[in-house]
Amino acid sequence: MGKPRSRPVNRRDFITKGAAAGVAATAMAGLGATVPDAEAQTPRQWDLEADVVVIGSGATGLPAAIRARDKGASVIVVEANYDVGGHGILSGGSLPLGGGTSWQKQHGIEDSPDQVFRDLTDWSVVLPHGIADYRYNDREVQRAFADNCAATFEFLIANGIVVRPPAFDSGSVGLSALRMSAPVLEGVNVPSPMSPGGGRGAANIRPLEASARAKGVRFLLNYHMDRIHRESPTAGRVLGLEASYKPRFLPGSTTRMESYRSEGNIDLRKPTVNVRARRAVIIASGGSSSNVNFRRIFDPRLTEEHQVGGEPYSFQDASGELAAMSIGASLWGTANAFERRRVIMKRNVVGAQYTYTQWGPNSPLFPFTRARGLNIGIPGWQHVISVNQVGKRFCDETHGELPDGTGYGLIENYVPGSVRNTKAKPHANADGVKQETPLYVHAALAMNEGSMPPDYAAGPVWVIFDAAAAARRKWNVEPPNVDLDQGYFFVADTLEELARQVTRNKYQKVPMPPANLAATVARYNSFVDLGRDEDFDKPTPRYKIDTPPFYAAWGTPVCHDTVTGLRINGRCQVLDLRGQVIPGLYCGGESAGGSNQHGWGRCSCQGYISGGNAAEDVATTSR
Ligand SMILES: Cc1cc2nc3c(=O)[nH]c(=O)nc-3n(C[C@H](O)[C@H](O)[C@H](O)COP(=O)(O)OP(=O)(O)OC[C@H]3O[C@@H](n4cnc5c(N)ncnc54)[C@H](O)[C@@H]3O)c2cc1C
């Protein structure tokens, strides 16, 4: 952190600089990630420099870097992780892009930029639980997406991504045309050394990485951007950034985790570096879902027990947002943060901390052994019950995650702009499962029984089953499939003992009363005899939980996407609290606000837009 200025502060300074910086610092105190010091001096010496400096190498950062390079700019990508990709490389990699792409034309799908824009601003699209999906989208940002959508698709193809026909559309990218295509990867869904998590997103990221390196983009890996330098704390141009060396090591060893490719990486290993951006800095750092205090600005219920989809490979720590806010940037479109399928998800993997997906043993991520998890699958919910932190059921366990409802084909008889859409229910979720009342996550987050001040956290959700269920479903309940060591899976001969064991988990802030769990299971078993769930209407409860040993597996909902962030305009320039451009600062992807849209579509498109504009940035402060 830099020292405060030593000269006396006059009244004008206080109003224009000190007060604003003070407000920002106060507002951000205690947010978890490093809060940059807005009063820091511009560095005396730059360690590195390029025309455009990109923060992050995921679904936004790589397209941004390539596009800027294509436009003639020199580019450095600063990446906190030991390898590129972020959430993008863990993803399924489907590309929700339309507006008249060559792929759409090949498949006879009619689409246009105007149609994309109309879809993404259609006020009439309302999810079954009452959330208006597109209503709070920023019109300027959506217009830019619509206008650049098809060009982004062709750009991605030109930079090495190969696509195949999609199985379904889950892209929340409009309902009137199919705008989804999936990448081709050898051995689809098989853990691949190309991807740290075995995800198909490697089929997007690795070609883009190869193209970026071939075109001369340089990568500074293992460096975490901590601060963005501006001419003065809340005025003038952005000049560059400061980053610190934070290598990650193989668990239990001193061996540094290495990137898949090393040629083209800048090897510096200084504790702190200042990187000058001659034209612009692009924030592509992937959002805020891993920063508990920051995500709770938008939804206070997202307390620490909720884990994050991309962890433990990639962390969305809100550092891009915090650094930008400390030099005056505004947040935007925060109404978009509410309960959406990918903001808060129920998963089918239980029994380990990171339950978004089952990390495969061949994955290079597998050294994080505790990340693996027991995949109980959709039919598995008939064989278990879910209980809250005080050992009580709260829902029909067979219910899915929050419905999507805003992808092509998910609302029956969709008519753009029709008031009838507000009454229509999605007929299937993204897994093709018939979806009715989406109770699960609501209930999980709303159940405050046993919660304690100051946060009143809903606490963990525990999935309870017995030895008979494990045998029926052929679940392997031994490590590394389950995490006994860290307290995400427990085994006991009695339900009372199981409740006592569960109390050892670090997120279990209150003891689970043993009598509660025993009574809950006894009541559920009585519903099996009755053939009816009198409490939550689970369809015909079939299996009693009465054969020891008994198991408790971590099943707490997961945060996935960030759908709100920094205010940007259609050129992806970051705006301040007065709506003025912060010269030389751009943002796209999950760190940007104004788009309630999942995934690669908006991220790659905003990378494309920001990279092109950053490369041509000239000193202007007007919109
Ligand atoms: C498991 C999973 C599956 C998914 N499946 C799909 C799918 O099938 N289709 C789809 O469209 N979307 C999918 N998504 C969503 C999609 O991957 C993300 O929306 C997208 O990757 C976000 O792009 P981004 O550039 O904003 O962030 P990321 O791709 O996460 O990239 C951000 C990068 O910034 C780096 N970074 C962060 N802070 C700093 C800092 N201070 N300094 C330096 N570097 C920093 C991170 O390490 C990371 O590499 C999935 C996501 C996950 C987690």
Residue bearing the bigger pLDDT, 131 or 386: 386
Over range 254-272, report the average pLDDT. 86
Sequence-distant (6+) residues with CB within 8 A of 412 are 424, 427
List residues bridging with 95 in a β-sheet: 181
Distance 88 CA to ligand 1 centre (A): 4
List, for residues 497-514, the tens digit of each pLDDT value: 999 999 999 999 999 999
List residues bridging with 225 in a β-sheet: 243
User: Which residue among 77, 84, 87, 246 is best mutated to probe the pocket of ligand 1, counting the most ligand atoms within 8 A of its Cβ?
Assistant: 87
Task: Answer for the pair 384, 346: CB distance below 8 angstroms, yes or no.
Answer: no
User: Which residue among 67, 195, 228, 285 is best mutated to probe the pocket of ligand 1, counting the most ligand atoms within 8 A of its Cβ?
Assistant: 285
Task: Answer for the pair 603, 589: CB distance below 8 angstroms, yes or no.
Answer: yes
186 class by beta-carbon count within 10 Å (0-12 exposed, 13-18 middle, 19+ buried): exposed
Q: Which residues line ligand 1 (CB under 6 A)?
A: 55-61, 78-81, 85-88, 90-94, 96, 201, 224-225, 284-287, 309-310, 314, 317, 319, 356-357, 561, 589-590, 598-600, 603
List, for residues 390-417, the tens digit of each pLDDT value: 999 988 888 766 656 567 776 777 888 8
How close are the terminal C-alpha atoms of the chain, in Å?
A: 32
List residues bridging with 386 in a β-sheet: 463
Nearest to 585, CA basis, from 45, 15, 55: 55
What is the C-alpha to C-alpha distance for residues 501 and 524, in angstroms, rounded to an integer? 21
User: C-alpha angle with apex 493: 490 to 495, nearest 5 degrees?
Assistant: 75
List, for residues 464-503, the tens digit of each pLDDT value: 999 999 999 999 999 888 999 899 999 999 999 999 999 9
Highest-pLDDT range among 22-36, 212-226, 393-407: 212-226
Domains and CATH numbers, the chain: 31-340+560-615 (3.50.50.60), 344-402+438-559 (3.90.700.10)
Percent of the chain scoring above 90 in pLDDT = 55
What is the C-alpha to C-alpha distance for residues 21 and 19, in angstroms, rounded to an integer? 5
List residues bridging with 18 in a β-sheet: none
Q: Is the pLDDT of residue 215 over 80?
A: yes
What is the C-alpha to C-alpha distance for residues 609 and 588, in angstroms, rounded to an integer? 9
The pLDDT assigned to 364 comes to 60
Task: Answer for the pair 448, 389: CB distance below 8 angstroms, yes or no.
Answer: no
The pLDDT assigned to 422 comes to 73
Nearest to 297, CA basis, from 29, 39, 509, 22: 29
